[in-house]
Amino acid sequence: MKFIENAFDKVRPQFEKGGKWEKLWPVFEAAETFHFVKPDRTQSGAHIRDHADTKRMMSIVIVALLPCFLFGMYNVGVQHFLAIGQEASLTAKVLFGARYVMPIVIVSYAVGGIWELLFCIVRKHEVNEGFLVTGLLFPLTLPPTIPLWLVAVGVSFGVVIGKEVFGGTGMNVFNPALTARALVFFAYADKISGEGVWTKLVGDQTFVDGYSGATPLLHAAGFNTASIAEQAAHVGLEPLTRVTDANVVIPHTQAALDGMSTMYANMDFSWMSMFIGTIPGSIGEVSTLACLIGALILIATGVGSWRIMLSCALGVAAMSAALHLGAEAFFPANPDGKQVVIPGMFMLPPHYHFVMGGLMFGLVFMTTDPVSAAHTKTGKWIYGFLIGVLVVIIRVINPAFPEGMMLAILFMNAFSPLIDYFVVQGNIKRRLARVQAA
Amino acid sequence: MATFNLRRGYDIPIAGAPASEVSEAAKPQTVAICPVDFLGIKARPLAEEGQAVKIGTPLASSKDDESHVITSPASGTLKEIRRGHRRVITHLVIACDGKDTAESYARYELAQIAGLGREKVLAQVKASGLLFAFRERPFNSAARPVHTPRDIFISTFDSGPLGVDMNLVVQGREAAFQAGLEVCRALTTGQVHLGVDGKGKNLSKAFTDAKNVQIHRFSGPHPAGNVGTHIHLVAPVKKRNDVVWTTTVAGVIRLGTLFLEGRVDPSTLVAVSGSAATERKHVRTVLGAPVKTILGGKAPDGDVRYISGNVLTGAKVSVDDYLHYYDNLLTVIPEATHAEFNGWMLPGGGKDSWYRIFLGKLVPGKRFQKDTRLGGGHRAMVFTGQYEAVTPIDVLPGFLYKSILANDIEEMEGLGIYEVVEEDIALCEYICPSKTDFQKVLRAGIRLIEKEG
């Protein structure tokens, strides 16, 4: 590849001190180090270094994201053709998905990249690789119908406010991709939530009967007595488990789920279908299986913290089991004797929580962002567990949000320094105890 | 007398280990002592350039204590007092006459040493210049005669990359080694602790059967052999004035010879290692020998880096330079020369890594040639728990680093800055993907504490 090297060597003087484009040095450096690992030598400290660098770590994360990305593109096509009631080949579905997903990814990288370069030029430091991951992560959290201008606005907010104002990669408090999504979610809620955004239609196409554009979580959030009765009846099941002595009605959510799975002629909302991911949702989060493959890659290479992933899963399981078993405790009997009906989400079994919504995607890729997560080993267990507990609380108990993963992660991001503070204090106290034990 | 099985750490699979055969180096024409090796000491010359010196003649002394002397390791003339930045003496160069005439000191039987008492022993050690064989913790400064150490620690195995085999160093000098241990016993109010390789084979009996000392076994990856690891696990340094002395196997042998034979023995065993060295071996030479003498006249081809010490903590020296005082290892590795096309993207079958991100990890037991490539740009530190995973002692290196950057002395003390020196966190620097400069920052933190108290 000598000719590429020569090309860079020829142009380098223009970007070095005194050159015409001296201010654009970060651009040149980024382009050159993208192609080559330079023979820069160690100047102080250890004379040899490990081959691992941030570029390598980030590229492993990108590889881990590929299953979600590729399946997500395919699924956009699947949902499109299901929604308009047409048969289509695998190729047609993939091409359709690519046609509408690739522009989102390109805009995300381009606009975010320009902000990154701008900050690097002004601050006079090299382009940091953290953006390589954020640029792909953010589009995967968006619905396929998102307008491209909104992608640009979102990623700008995420890169600038979520990362750069704190000092750039390695200094941010919050996950930049989620900060970007949070802006879109709160400022342009109608573009990113509701029943109509999850399926890409072209021109004046409409949903056929037998297709539901709502995500499984939206359905489950709507499980009340009437819908449960309808859904349970659909599969010939009794809608209600029991009414307690205190006149509290505990719904048969499993029946509702079974009913939901076959309610729509063109949809399959069974657990297995949700696990594989041929359901409406954000581009990258639909397939739990793809997320698991990504998790495997991250854990096998050691790039993603298994502690955070496991503790988050344990938190989800614990909290949803606790709500499932202890639902009655939340709903005391009505003093005037009227029936109290527990919302269906309370009885959602833990294994459904994992396949519905963005939980798995967030668990594998967002919670494990090393900068915004807790930095200590003990801290990671606490951090992950509390995210899991929080996401279930927001999903089940909070009536305003059907999905709570983004909010739970952003909330715990704010607490990571505090968690670490206590772990570090523990280290300091142990040392003090050794001093006093003299 | 404890056994420690350490799990955290990393043995870098670097190629270029030295062969066990020992050869004699030629007699050097010049040798040099580098007073900059003695941290915390400002050297003032006592001898003049051109003055005739014997082995043991004082050349310079500490500015704070004129009786704390640096003595000559060879007989001949003091050729040059080389000064560097801010007139600090960097080298005391002696032109050797090859005669090995030496100053003489009192001689004792092995059994007598214990009964001499601290003052007498310290006086002889100081006068011979061998007090510099000891370094102090905290901070790895040269041992000060006004400090009485609470304990003395000696590590008998070098777990660092391509390290010297201490069993070869002590071979034939077992009696002197035991006498040296008696000298150490006399110098401290507490115990002498010997750190022995828990998984080593054919360990010297001088180590395993040493008398009148506490023997502890350490097994595990590097830094299991670091004396700092031993101190932390056995009797950690508690505060600034909790002084512990450390010395090397070579230092102990020299101390023993001083009292058994009444002279300073400058001979030493040096390992020549590294993939760029033309001959990898153990060489018998003298303290302060020139790099050329140790190499044996066959200079390697191409662009290489000579390191006095090991690849993690050693100092870069030129081929015309001298081995530093505390080092018995000369590592020669190739300099990085060519750019790797798409290096960070490719599977990396020929690359080693502590991380599991290159295919090279899949071949167990493979040794890799390492050059001086930095391998990435400097970035902000990202915590993934990697630093703690290679640190067997209870210290959080990433947080300590940040507390130093923040100039927060209380936090530095709380996080253990008294317990670590450069060699204890060098592995963190090695594996850091952000290429963070741990050792430089640690020393800056130490200097801040020394200045501000």
What would the pLDDT profile of A367-398 be if each residue is shown by its tens digit? 999 999 999 999 999 999 999 999 999 999 88
For residues A271 and A277, the answer to whether their CB atoms sit within 8 Å is: no
For testing the chain B interface, which of A37, A306, A377, A424 should be mutated: the one with the most B CBs within 10 Å? A37
Reply yes or no on whether the pLDDT at B230 is more than 60.
yes
Q: What is the mean pLDDT of residues B365-392?
A: 91
Confidence of residue A419 (pLDDT cuts 50, 70, 90): very high
Q: What percent of chain A has pLDDT over 70?
A: 95
Percent of chain A at pLDDT exceeding 90 = 59
Residue of B nearest to A36 (CA): B341
* Of B342, B370, B394, Cβ closest to residue A35: B342
Q: Between A38, A46, A438, which is nearest B312 by CB?
A: A46
* B352 and A CB contact within 8 Å: yes
> pTM for the complete prediction?
0.92
Q: CA-CA distance, B227 to B84, in Å (whole number)?
A: 31
Q: Give chain A positions within 8 Å (CB) of B355.
A: 50, 52, 57, 301-303
C-beta neighbour count of A236 within 10 angstroms: 9
pLDDT at A237 (0 to 100): 61
B-interface mutation test, from A3, A48, A435, most B Cβ less than 10 A away: A48
| Residue B67: per-residue pLDDT | 92
Of B341, B375, B411, the CB nearest to A53: B375
**pLDDT (mean) for A102-109:** 97
Which A residues 377-416 touch B at CB under 8 Å? 377, 380
So what's the ipTM on this one? 0.93
For residues A349 and A308, the model is more confident at: A308
Averaged confidence pLDDT in chain A: 89
For chain A, state the CA radius of gyration: 25
Q: Would you call B162 an interface residue with chain A, using a CB distance cutoff of 8 Å? A: no
pLDDT at B440: 96
Residue carrying structure tokens 């690849």: B311
Closest CA to A98 of A73, A70, A72: A73
Show residues of chain B in contact with A55, CB under 8 Å: 344, 376
* pLDDT of res. B127: 95
* Cα–Cα dist B41/B141, whole Å: 8
Name the residue facing A50 among B305, B314, B353 (closest C-beta).
B353
3-state SS, residue B247: strand
Mutation site for A-interface testing, chosen from B396, B403, B422 by largest number of A Cβ within 10 Å: B396
- Substitution target in A9, A51, A381, A416 with the highest count of B β-carbons within 10 Å is A51
- As a whole number, mean pLDDT of residues B204-228 equals 94
pLDDT of residue A240: 58
Q: What is the pLDDT of residue A233?
A: 65
**Interatomic CA distance for residues A91 and A8, integer angstroms:** 40
H/E element, A248: strand A248-251
**Please, what sign has the CA dihedral across residues A48, A51, A55, A61?**
negative
Query: What confidence tens digit (pLDDT) does each residue in B294-341 have?
Result: 998 677 878 999 999 999 999 999 999 999 999 999 999 999 988 888
At A226 the pLDDT is: 61
Query: Looking at the predicted structure, is the pLDDT value of residue B213 above 90?
Result: yes
Per-residue pLDDT at B235: 93
Average pLDDT over every residue of A222-243: 65
Q: Is the pLDDT of residue B292 over 70?
A: yes
Q: Distance from B441 to chain A by nearest Cα, in Å?
A: 10
What is the torsion angle, in degrees rounded to the nearest 10, for the CA atoms of residue A86, residue A91, residue A93 and residue A99? -130
Percent residues over pLDDT 90 in chain B = 85
pLDDT for B224 equals: 96
Q: What is the pLDDT of residue A28?
A: 87
Name the A residues in 51-80 with CB < 8 Å from any B CB. 51-57, 59-60
Secondary structure element (H or E) that encloses residue A395, with its range: helix A377-396
Task: Tell which A residues from 122 to 161 touch B, by Cβ distance under 8 Å.
Answer: 126, 128-129
DSSP result, A275-291: HHT-SSSSTTTS-HHHH
Chain A contact present for B182, CB below 8 A:
no
- The answer to whether the Cβ–Cβ distance between A49 and B375 falls below 8 Å is yes
Contact B335 A41 (CB under 8 A): yes
User: Which pLDDT score, from 0 to 100, does residue A198 have?
Assistant: 93
Chain A contact for B359 (CB, 8 A cutoff): no
Q: How far is A369 from chain B (nearest CA, A)?
A: 9
Q: What is the CA radius of gyration of chain B?
A: 22
- Cβ neighbours of B401 in A, within 8 Å: none
The DSSP code sequence of A362-390 is IIIIITT-TTTS--SHHHHHHHHHHHHHH
| pLDDT attached to residue A326 | 83
Q: Which residues of A touch B338 (CB under 8 A)?
A: 39
Q: What is the pLDDT of residues B28-56, one digit of tens each?
A: 999 999 999 999 999 999 999 999 999 99
Q: Contact, B30 vs B241, CB < 8 A? A: no
Both tokens of A375, joined, read 């930095």
Q: What percent of chain B has pLDDT over 70?
A: 100
Closest CA–CA distance from residue B121 to any residue of chain A (Å): 28
C-alpha angle B106/B110/B116, rounded to 5°? 60
**Per-residue model confidence (pLDDT) at position A268:** 85
B385 and A380 within 8 Å at the Cβ level: the answer is: yes
Give the pLDDT band (50/70/90) at residue A332.
Answer: confident
Tell me the C-alpha distance between A282 and A216, whole Å.
12
Smallest CA–CA distance from A436 into chain B, residue: B238
H/E run at residue A66:
helix A54-83
A-B contacts at Cβ under 8 angstroms:
198
Closest among A141, A197, A176 to A357, alpha carbons compared = A141
Q: Are strands B151-155 and B244-247 parallel, antiparallel or unpaired?
A: parallel
pLDDT confidence of residue B318: 93
| CA A380, chain centre distance (Å) | 18
A236: pLDDT strictly greater than 70: no
Confidence at residue A102, expressed as pLDDT on a 0 to 100 scale: 96
A340-341 and A248-251 strand pairing? parallel
User: Shortest Cα distance from B369 to chain A (angstroms)?
Assistant: 10
Q: Do B394 and A56 touch (CB under 8 A)?
A: no
Contact A52 B357 (CB under 8 A): yes
Q: How many other β-carbons are positioned within 10 Å of the β-carbon of residue A429?
A: 11
Say which of B372, B396, B411 has its CB closest to residue A47. Answer: B372
Smallest CA–CA distance, residue B173 to chain A, in Å, is 33
β-pair partners for B315: B308
pLDDT tens track for B164-195: 999 999 999 999 999 999 999 999 999 999 99
Q: How far A71 CA sits from the closest chain B CA (Å)?
A: 23
pLDDT(B347) > 90 = no
Confidence of residue A227 (pLDDT cuts 50, 70, 90): low
Does the pLDDT value for residue A356 go beyond 60? yes
CA distance A139 to chain B (A): 23
pLDDT digit string (tens) for A44-60?
A: 999 999 999 888 999 99
Substitution target from B306, B370, B382 for chain A, most A beta carbons within 10 A: B382
Do the Cβ atoms of B20 and B291 come closer than 8 Å? no
Give the per-residue SS3 of A71-97.
HHHHHHHHHHHHHCCCCCCHHHHHHHH
In this predicted structure, what is the pLDDT of residue A345?
85
Residue pair B31/B286 in contact (Cβ under 8 Å)? The answer is yes
Per-residue model confidence (pLDDT) at position A234: 66
Taking 3-state DSSP, the helix, strand and coil percentages for chain B, each rounded to the nearest 5, stand at 30, 25, 50
> How many Å lie between the alpha carbon of B342 and the closest alpha carbon of chain A?
5
Q: What is the DSSP string of B168-232?
A: HHHTT-HHHHHHHHHHHHHH-SS-EEEEEETT-SS--HHHHT-SSSEEEEEESSTTTT-HHHHHH
The pLDDT confidence band at residue A39, using thresholds 50, 70 and 90, is: confident
pLDDT at position A251 is 77
Do A270 and A126 contact (CB within 8 A), yes or no?
no
User: Which one has a higher pLDDT value, A237 or A257?
Assistant: A257
Q: Report pLDDT digits (tens) over A169-213.
A: 889 999 999 999 999 999 999 999 888 899 999 988 888 888 888
What was the pLDDT predicted at A125? 87
The pLDDT of residue B119 is 94
Q: Is A292 on the interface with B (CB under 8 A)?
A: no
Q: Which amino acid is at B450?
A: E
Q: Give the C-alpha distances (Å, rounded to integers) separating B451 from A409, B409, B443, B444, B447.
A: 43, 11, 12, 10, 6
pLDDT at A225 over 70: no
Residue of A33, A42, A369 best to disrupt the B interface, most CBs of B under 10 A: A42
Do residues A182 and A410 lie in contact, with contact meaning Cβ atoms separated by under 8 Å? yes
DSSP notation for B405-448: HTT-HHHHHHHTTTT--HHHHHHHHHH-TT---HHHHHHHHHHH
Kindly state the DSSP code that residue B102 receives in the 8-state scheme.
Answer: B
Please state, in angstroms and rounded to a whole number, the distance separating the CA atoms of residues B284 and B272.
11
For residue B304, the model assigns a pLDDT of: 94
Say yes or no for a CB contact (<8 Å) between B382 and A371.
yes
The Cα–Cα gap between A197 and B338 comes to: 52
Report CB contact under 8 Å: A54, B430: no
Q: Which residue of A has its CA nearest to B387?
A: A376
User: What is the token pair recorded at B266?
Assistant: 């400058």
Question: Cβ A45–B316 below 8 Å, yes or no?
Answer: no
Residue A232 has pLDDT above 70, yes or no: no
Q: Which of these ranges, A1-15, B12-26, B428-442, has the smallest mean pLDDT?
A: A1-15
Overall average pLDDT of the A327-343 stretch: 76
A336 touches chain B (CB under 8 A): no
Q: How far is B233 from chain A (nearest CA, A)?
A: 11
At residue B369, does pLDDT exceed 80?
Answer: yes
Mean local confidence (pLDDT), B228-237:
95
Give the whole-angstrom CA distance, residue A266 versus residue A233.
Answer: 19
Quote the DSSP letter at residue A168. S
- Range of A337-341, B294-298, B399-403 with top mean pLDDT: B399-403
Q: What is the pLDDT of residue A23?
A: 86
pLDDT of residue B359: 86
Q: Ranked by mean pLDDT, which of A337-346, B58-67, B376-385 comes out on top? A: B58-67
